[in-house]
Amino acid sequence: MAMTMSQKILAYHAGLDSVEPGQLISAKLDLVLANDITGPVAIKEFKKAGAGSVKEKDKIALVMDHFAPNKDIKSAQQCKICREFAAEQGIENYFDVGAMGIEHALLPEQGLVGAGDLVIGADSHTCTYGALGAFSTGVGSTDMAAGMMSQTCWFKVPSAIKFVLKGKPAKYICGKDIILHIIGMIGVDGALYKSMEFTGDGIKYLSIDDRFTICNMAIEAGAKNGIFPVDDVALDYMKGRFKRQPKIFEADPDAEYERVIEIDLSALRPTVAFPHLPENTKTPDEWGDIKIDQVVIGSCTNGHISDMRIAAEILKGRKVAKNVRAIIIPATNEIYLLAVHEGLVDIFINAGAIVSTPTCGPCLGGYMGILAENERAVSTTNRNFVGRMGHVTSEVYLASPYVAAASAVTGRLTSPEEL
């Protein structure tokens, strides 16, 4: 039978000729991922089940990124559990301070995920790797434990929505605007347990970082995964990085989709998700005068080198507004070093921003930028739920690095077109 790209990857890893939506399968995994929040829970369940050793130690990754460097005793204990488990089990892909990075930027960079892979992670934004043509999805810590024990996981095969991206984005439009536009269109449950498969001639205008951002936020529409075709952009990124041979799967021409949605990229404008849901999107003529207290540019969604360059483009020769805290967080050490060598860090500091070591930090209200009562932040992160970045009365406005940097300069929610 005809299959979508995601269904073909699942069928291959399940050892089946074909699969269909709703079918339950058991499939072999290429990588199992956890972090310093979800890892200790998975390790506890692993030991509770009586498992002595992991199935394939080279196919497990533990990344200390949410509260590392440790912010308090509890977070230090969490990392200690993962560190000791990695040493005990001989897990090669253990990333801690000095070698760490935000997991969903770090693993592609390190060549641990790539085209045709089947990946689970005990973190909802594991769907990021679809940018490289992988089927990757978030799971709970119990499934993570089972994955470490067996290197397999069960799946219910998802149906799919096809997004046909057409045209060339205008200046100041990037992947964040595209995915926020889509979530605003279909809602936070508009792709519930479905694959979001992106096609169309507009894809050629999207950098790999744009694609990472779009797939990262597929979960914010409720999707099981997001995925792009494997083209030269993806292959160029994987070349010299990916540690295995890419497996390229393509959707059948007659594959069935629940919906087909066309998006004219040339018509998009800067898009911001207002509190308190990613679907609450508005364009500049709807923003009004929103005074802000903080800007965060970083996270697994927008901490890539292209995001750093965008922020520097806007901040160069300008100053962060008085009473605004601007926090820049490169997603990995490699990205941090590039930002240093390209002079971007100089631009940030001269503008009055601070630059943090790679960490999830403020995205989940962890540290390095917690909001106080009634404060507002423009952030390039991926969620703006009530209390997400701090006090329950605080507000988070999700935006592209263009909008975030422009807002840092003016002290209010601002489109870069206004500067």
Coil, strand, or helix at residue 167? coil
Peptide bond into 276 cis (omega under 30): yes
- DSSP string covering 317-358, please? T--PPTT-EEEE--SBHHHHHHHHHTTHHHHHHHHT-EEPPS
Length of the chain: 419
Please name every residue paired with 332 in a beta bridge, in sequence order, or none if there are none.
101
Q: Which CATH number fits domain 5-240+249-263: 3.30.420.40, 3.40.190.10, 3.30.499.10, 3.40.1160.10?
A: 3.30.499.10
pLDDT, one tens digit for every residue, the chain (419 residues): 899 999 999 999 999 999 999 999 999 999 999 999 999 999 999 999 998 899 999 999 999 999 989 999 999 999 999 999 999 999 999 999 999 899 999 999 999 999 999 999 999 999 999 999 999 999 998 999 999 999 999 999 999 999 999 999 999 999 999 999 999 999 999 999 999 999 999 999 999 999 999 999 999 999 999 999 999 999 999 999 998 999 999 999 999 999 999 999 999 999 999 999 999 999 999 999 999 999 999 999 999 999 999 999 999 999 999 999 999 999 999 999 999 999 999 999 999 999 999 999 898 888 999 999 999 999 999 999 989 999 999 999 999 999 999 999 999 999 999 98
Give the list of residues 6+ apart from residue 3 with CB closer than 8 angstroms, or none: 11, 18, 19, 251, 252, 255
Same fold, 5-240+249-263 and 272-418: yes
Domain positions in the chain are: 5-240+249-263, 272-418
Give the list of residues 6+ apart from residue 105 with CB closer than 8 angstroms, or none: 128, 212, 300, 303, 304, 331, 332, 335
Query: What's the Rg (C-alpha) of the chain?
Result: 20
Coil, strand, or helix at residue 68? coil
pLDDT of residue 243: 85
pLDDT of residue 1: 83
Exposed, middle or buried: residue 194 (CB in 10 Å: 0-12, 13-18, 19+)?
buried
For the sheet with 160-166, list strands across it: 225-227, 195-199, 160-166, 259-264
CA-to-CA distance for 348 and 338, rounded, in angstroms? Answer: 14
Tokens of 190: 């508009």
Inter-residue contact 66 to 37 (CB < 8 Å): yes
Please name every residue paired with 398 in a beta bridge, in sequence order, or none if there are none.
273, 379
Inter-residue contact 363 to 389 (CB < 8 Å): yes
Please name every residue paired with 138 in a beta bridge, in sequence order, or none if there are none.
121
Residue 28 DSSP one-character state: E
pLDDT of residue 145: 95
Written in H, E and C, the secondary structure of 238-257 is HCCCCCCCCCCCCCCCCCCC
CATH class of 272-418: alpha beta
Residue 414 burial (CB count, 10 A): 26
Nearest one of 266, 394, 360 to 38, comparing CA atoms: 360
Nearest one of 22, 246, 213, 231 to 127, comparing CA atoms: 213
DSSP strand pairing (294-297 vs 195-199): unpaired
